[in-house]
């Protein structure tokens, strides 16, 4: 790796050179195995790999999931059991909130499929969320409390073209 | 699209055929412009595009961000202002929690850079989170309350190889 330091513009402090290869979103739930089944049924997720907790307690029905990697189209995300043993504080605190966006060509069918699998529809398919006022967006909340928006990849591209790209 | 219906295994109900193209994680914060600057400084994120709220209020210093798309390595995520106007309930409710994982070859430097930009380090770099007990993991919380883990892509691959892949 080239030893090229990066200025971050704060009082001349020099940040170390770091390359981030990828970012993965991890959903942490009380019963990860159930969540994996739900995301397969609701969104058609495909399980790529699963690592389980090495210490299996006698009272556990099945091994706890440290990380199940699910593929959705060109993207992947992680589903994990929320365990004290894993030593990970996982609650989101502070001012921020998270939503998850799914790109699909048939928003109505996607909402219907998710609801059939156990998600709760949150209102009608609406427009006006993007800068393109015609862009429809569907919305469901899954059994674990996460909010999923459905949007169209084509309309998203059109919205992007209406804004000049920002270079950094 | 082929009209191929999918069985979801629940009492013989037939779910509509839906193809999800991609999933994107959206971080919703009170000041998205500040958050974008932070993710650039902390992680080296690159802003690909930005769409702003069409209705700019007089009292606003700058237009509200509907969606800024940030690239981190091979991944992208969204940063948005939390506005009532956008009509999006964004709070995560229920049992689930979310964390974000960053893959990098130098975990120590990545934590140091994030802290220099304003993140708070949460404990030492530890091991034992993955099925590979030697796998080091660093952890920071950003100014908006989100938890970011740093891990190595190489060690992650090794952990995956220790488990038989699950086919669906």
DSSP string for A25-68 = EEEEES-HHHHHHHHHHHH--EEEEEEE-SS--TT-SS--EEEE
* Residue B6, SS3 per DSSP: strand
CA distance A42 to A74: 17
Strand locations in A53-122 (E): 65-72, 75-81, 97-104, 120-121
Q: Which helix (H) or strand (E) holds B160?
A: helix B153-161
Residue A128: closest C-alpha in chain B: B86
Question: What was the pLDDT predicted at A138?
Answer: 93
Neighbours of B111 (CB within 10 A): 23
Question: Helices A32-43 and A107-117, interaxial angle, to 10°?
Answer: 150
Tell me, rounded to whole angstroms, the distance of Cα A152 from its chain centroid: 17
Contact A38, B8 (CB under 8 A): no
- Tokens matching residue A2: 């080239």
pLDDT at B168 over 60: no
Q: Which residues pair with B133 in a beta bridge?
A: none
Q: How far is A149 from chain B (nearest CA, A)?
A: 10
pLDDT at B70 over 90: yes
Residue B138: closest C-alpha in chain A: A88
pLDDT tens for each residue of B7-65: 444 445 565 678 999 999 999 888 999 999 999 999 999 999 998 877 655 555 678 89
Q: Which of A51, A110, A163 sits opposite B50 (nearest CB)?
A: A163
pLDDT at A136 over 70: yes
pLDDT at B116 over 50: yes
Contact B112, B33 (CB under 8 A): no
- Phi and psi for A137 in degrees, rounded to 5? -135, 130
Regarding pTM above 0.80, the answer is no
Q: Which of B90, B95, B117 sits opposite A8 (nearest CB)?
A: B117
% of chain B at pLDDT higher than 90: 44
pLDDT tens for each residue of B90-100: 455 556 788 89
Q: What is the DSSP letter of B124?
A: S
pLDDT tens for each residue of A10-63: 445 565 678 999 999 999 888 999 999 999 999 999 999 998 877 655 555 678
Contact A99, B88 (CB under 8 A): yes
pLDDT at A161 over 60: no
Is A5 or B16 the better-scoring residue by pLDDT? Answer: B16
CA distance A61 to A101: 33
Best of A99, A136, A157 to substitute, by most chain B Cβ atoms within 10 angstroms, is: A99
Q: What is the DSSP letter of B2?
A: -
pLDDT at A119 over 50: yes
pLDDT tens for each residue of B118-162: 999 988 887 766 555 677 889 999 998 898 999 987 544 444 444
Best of A98, A119, A137, A148 to substitute, by most chain B Cβ atoms within 10 angstroms, is: A98
CA distance A79 to A49: 11
How many residues are given for chain B? Answer: 168
pLDDT tens for each residue of A66-109: 899 999 999 999 999 987 554 444 455 556 788 899 999 999 99
């Amino acid at each position: 790796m080239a030893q090229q330091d990066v200025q971050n513009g704060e009082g001349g402090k020099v940040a170390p050179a770091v390359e981030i290869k990828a970012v993965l979103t991890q959903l942490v739930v009380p019963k990860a195995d159930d969540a994996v089944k739900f995301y397969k049924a609701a969104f058609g997720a495909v399980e790529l790999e699963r690592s389980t907790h090495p210490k299996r307690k006698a009272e556990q029905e099945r091994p706890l999931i440290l990380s199940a990697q699910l593929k959705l189209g060109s993207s992947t995300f992680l589903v994990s059991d929320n365990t004290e043993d894993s030593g990970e504080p996982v609650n989101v605190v502070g001012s921020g909130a998270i939503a998850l966006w799914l790109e699909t060509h048939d928003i109505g069918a996607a909402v219907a499929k998710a609801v059939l699998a156990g998600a709760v529809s949150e209102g009608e398919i609406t427009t006006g969320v993007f800068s393109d006022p015609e862009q429809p967006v569907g919305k469901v909340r899954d059994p674990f409390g996460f909010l999923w928006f459905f949007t169209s990849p084509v309309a998203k591209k059109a919205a992007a073209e209406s804004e000049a790209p920002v270079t950094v």
